[in-house]
Amino acid sequence: MSLNGIAGTALSALKTSSAALGVVSNNIANVNTPGYARRVVNQQTLAAGGQLMGVDIASIQRVVDSFLRQENLSASGAASQFDTAASFFTQLNGLLGGPGDNQSMATGLTNLAAAFGVASQAPSSSSSSTAVLNSLQGLAADISNVSNTISSLQSQVDNQVVNSISSTNDLIKQIYTLNQQIKTQTATGNTSSALLDQRDNALNSLSKIIGIRVNQQADGGFNVTTTDGINLVSNTYAVLSYAGGVQNGTYGNIQIQDTNPQTGQVIGQAIPLDPHLSGGSLKGMIDMRDQTLSGLAEGLGNFAQNVAQAFNAQANANAAYPPPATLTGRQTGLLSGDALNFSGKTTIAVTDPTGKLVSRVDVDFGAGTLSVDGGGSVSIGSTVGSFAAALNTALGGNGSASFVNGQLSVAATGGNGVVVQDDATTPSSRGGAGFSQFFGLNDVFTAQAPSILATGLSASDSSGLAAGGVIALSLKGPSGDIVKQVSVTTTAGQTIGDVLTALNSALGGAATFTLNSDGSVSTAKSALYSDYQLNVTGDTTQRGATGVSFTKLLGIGSNNLANQAVNFAVTDQVAKVPQRIGFGTPKITATTVAGDSIISGGDNSGAIALQNVMNANRTFPAAGGISVQRASLSDYAASFYQQVSTLSNAVTQNQTTQDGRLQEAQSRMASNSGVSLDEELTNLTTYQQAYTAGARMLTVVDQLYQTLLQIQ
């Protein structure tokens, strides 16, 4: 080999070693840089015409294992999902407290039982009434506060979903832009560009929001999709949109749509993203909002409805001393023209301030008649309005009765009071509720939704709905997929059965409504959608001038159950006059006549009966993940908190598992792609020695040239 050839070989050694030292230098400098993957130098023999000509750099390779990268992204998404859910459970547990805390519903029931116990010892004391009122309001506040807590946390989660959309779109656009730049670099032979690290960092950030899958292309670009294949980044990129907000307790879907990078115009139709989320904080937030919190709201509504039914039933069977001058009932949603549909017997009595009978009106709903003070039978007609008119006439100068816009009111005159008592043998009933309870004449609790859903209406009863009202329903799955969105517009003259038939036709068998004999509605979902929620997303209907919509009256939709706990409170009548709480039991028999005492101030039987309500077993239907059970109110309250604890523990366990998986994935990734100072220092020494040897070769060549030049 000539001296020129030796010099060229030495120069190639210097050049290669210098470049290799630069790679080592970058590795060492970025030893603590997040997302940096170490580079290695691949050398090759430099040859010309089959002759060795030194050394050259074949490539500078970025060390990344595609399997470990995907596992790291998947683990990151799963960990982020449960970290997000766990953070919300931390807030929820702190706000709700536990069964032993002063703010819990179980404690509220205990305090109320104690207050009724004290009242039974001194039923005529005003302090007893005040103490019971305070305990009633305490329990109502506990229920309402838990409802507000769940609702507020749902709104907070939803706001975070909205805020995540912008950052997610930025990351998707960033990855697309980096893809294009990397493709250009790859085409020029640069396979170790810093852009690769930037893209990996962006992918890691995106995986914490959305579970993603990455497929590397031959041109250096990445195709990024959801784990089930919905495009996020390819030759196009996706744009997410979500305005946020709740509609009748129901949240909409995040929409995703492809976009043309050159024009910015959308491609095709937008589709819901929610069903395609398999990890990431968005999945954690949406599951928390739509499944966990929504389920807890339904379980709470189930509890609130039973609390209202149990206490209101007993309160309406009791009587206050002195009897109140006026009994004004709840908003029933009924119309004057609705069929009366009561059975059994009841008595509406007027008493003097000392509880002595002034006059009695005995109503026999089965016979369709009433009698005044044992007199002849008079027809009450067949409608709610005709009954109210007949009762008003029967009360004569002793009182009055009216039924206006869904509310029944009975009043006494001359400083007297009103007492209602069902017949002991054949008590009155409409849809399973007694006369006073159905109309809510002595209710103690009220809420946004009526607790009595057995309306007593039949399919042939007029719907009472004006034409043009719209009922909108959606059937939403546990993954957020909405398989049905229907709306029905009411027409003039429809019956209750007509409206239900129209709703059933619109749903096409996905769900079916059935009007039961007691006037309640049962909802059956097809086997395909057994775990889906049927929600009312809108209802502009109104029965007459009652202000009660069709779906609210019949309790249609999962969200209506949650509404049983919304604005749960003591009725205004009781809150203003705690003496209206009945601690006694009226004593009207067939032989009771004017002047006989039917309620006394020392009667404590009603207070004892109200105290026993807490321990009486009731049948609670399945709701919000809590199975059907026969239990007391206190036991069900404990079940509600147990459900919160069970869900929280499950999330914590998953969080621990997925965080451990992520740590393992990151450790393996670091072992494969991370910078080892020991290894780099070894490489530094190796390349430094190679550089020194190459430089020494040039020195020798120079000396040989000098020797040749000195030859004469």
**CATH number of the domain bearing residue 339:** 2.60.40
Question: Where a domain ends, among 282, 302, 336?
Answer: 282
DSSP letter at 216 equals E
Q: Note the pTM of the prediction, 2 decimals.
A: 0.89
Report the pLDDT value the prediction gives residue 324, as an integer from 0 to 100: 97
Question: Where a domain ends, among 538, 554, 570?
Answer: 554
Question: Where a domain ends, among 420, 441, 462?
Answer: 441
Q: Are residues 274 and 334 in the same domain?
A: no
Q: Are residues 184 and 273 in the same domain?
A: yes
In a domain, 610, yes or no: no
Q: Which residues of the chain have pLDDT under 50?
A: none
Q: Are residues 408 and 486 in the same domain?
A: no
Q: What is the token pair recorded at 5?
A: 């050839």
Q: Are residues 175 and 270 in the same domain?
A: yes
How far lies 588's CA from each of 323, 346, 367, 600, in Å? 14, 10, 20, 12
N residues, the chain: 712
Contact in structure between 597 and 355 (CB atoms under 8 Å) = yes
Q: Are residues 356 and 268 in the same domain?
A: no
Report the pLDDT value the prediction gives residue 145, as an integer from 0 to 100: 93
Q: For residues 495 and 461, what is the distance between their CA atoms, to the nearest angstrom? A: 5
In a domain, 177, yes or no: yes
Q: Are residues 184 and 278 in the same domain?
A: yes
Report the pLDDT value the prediction gives residue 103, as an integer from 0 to 100: 62
Q: How far is CA 622 from the centre of its chain?
A: 17
Residue with tokens 């509720």, as numbered in its chain: 433
Q: Are residues 166 and 278 in the same domain?
A: yes
Alpha helical stretches, state H, 218-292: 280-287
How far lies 171's CA from each of 47, 179, 180, 325, in Å? 46, 12, 14, 69
Strand partners, 430: 433
Q: Are residues 348 and 413 in the same domain?
A: yes
Q: Which residues contact 315 (CB under 8 A, 6 or more apart)?
A: 442, 443, 444, 581, 582, 610
Give φ, ψ of 243 to 5 degrees. Answer: -85, -25
Q: For residues 85 and 288, what is the distance between their CA atoms, to the nearest angstrom? A: 6
Q: Mapped to the 3 state alphabet, what secondary structure does 570-627 carry?
A: ECHHHHHCHHHCCCECCCCCCCCCCCCECCCCCCCHHHHHHHHHCCCCEEECCECCEC
In a domain, 499, yes or no: yes
Span 392-402, pLDDT tens digits: 999 999 999 99
In a domain, 598, yes or no: no
In a domain, 587, yes or no: no
Q: For residues 139 and 151, what is the distance between their CA atoms, to the nearest angstrom? A: 18
Q: Are residues 271 and 175 in the same domain?
A: yes
Contact in structure between 401 and 388 (CB atoms under 8 Å) = yes
Please name the amino acid found at residue 135. S
In a domain, 139, yes or no: no
Please name the amino acid found at residue 299. G
Q: Compute the Cα dihedral for 363, 369, 372, 377 and give only its sign.
A: negative
Q: Are residues 407 and 330 in the same domain?
A: yes
Cis status of the peptide bond prior to 322, with omega within 30 of 0: yes
Burial class (CB in 10 A: 0-12, 13-18, 19+), 102: exposed
Report the pLDDT value the prediction gives residue 36, as an integer from 0 to 100: 87
Q: Compute the Cα dihedral for 259, 260, 264, 266 and give only its sign.
A: negative
In a domain, 37, yes or no: yes
Which of 449, 499, 502, 490 has its CA nearest to residue 333? Answer: 449
In a domain, 600, yes or no: no
How far lies 470's CA from each of 238, 465, 467, 490, 669, in Å? 35, 10, 9, 6, 57
Q: What is the token pair recorded at 648?
A: 């929280």
Report the domain count for the chain.
Answer: 4
Owning domain of residue 400: 321-441
